[in-house]
Amino acid sequence: MLYSIYSALGLNFLRSFRLPLGSYVDTLVDWLVEVFGSQFDSIKNGIESLIGSIEFLLLLSPFLLTALLIAALAWYLSGRGVALFSILGLMLIYNIGLWPETMATLALILTATLLALAIAIPIGILAAKFKWVDMVTRPILDFMQTMPAFVYLLPAIFFFGIGTVSAVFATIIFAMPPAIRLTNLGIRQVSTELIEAGEAFGSNWHQMLFKVQLPLAMPTILAGVNQCIMLSLSMVVIASMIGAGGLGSVVRTALAGLDVGMGFEGGIAVVIIAIILDRLTQGKRK
Per-residue pLDDT of the chain in tens (286 residues, 90 and over written 9): 555 555 545 555 555 666 666 677 778 777 777 777 777 778 888 888 888 888 888 888 888 888 888 888 888 888 888 889 889 989 998 888 888 888 888 888 888 888 888 998 899 888 888 888 888 888 888 888 787 777 777 777 777 777 778 888 888 888 888 889 898 888 888 777 777 776 676 666 677 777 777 788 888 888 888 888 888 887 777 777 777 777 777 777 877 777 788 888 888 888 888 888 888 877 654 4
Q: What is the C-alpha to C-alpha distance for residues 98 and 273, in angstroms, rounded to an integer?
A: 12
Specify if 14 maps to a domain. Answer: no
In a domain, 66, yes or no: yes
17 found inside a domain = no
Q: Is residue 19 part of a domain?
A: no
Asked if residue 13 belongs to a domain, the reply is no
How many structural domains are present in the chain? 1
CATH number for 87: 1.10.3720.10
Is 45 part of any domain? yes
Full domain range(s) for residue 251: 37-282
Instruction: Indicate whether 41 belongs to any domain.
Output: yes
pTM exceeds 0.85: no
Give residue 286's pLDDT: 42
Residue 7 lies in a domain: no
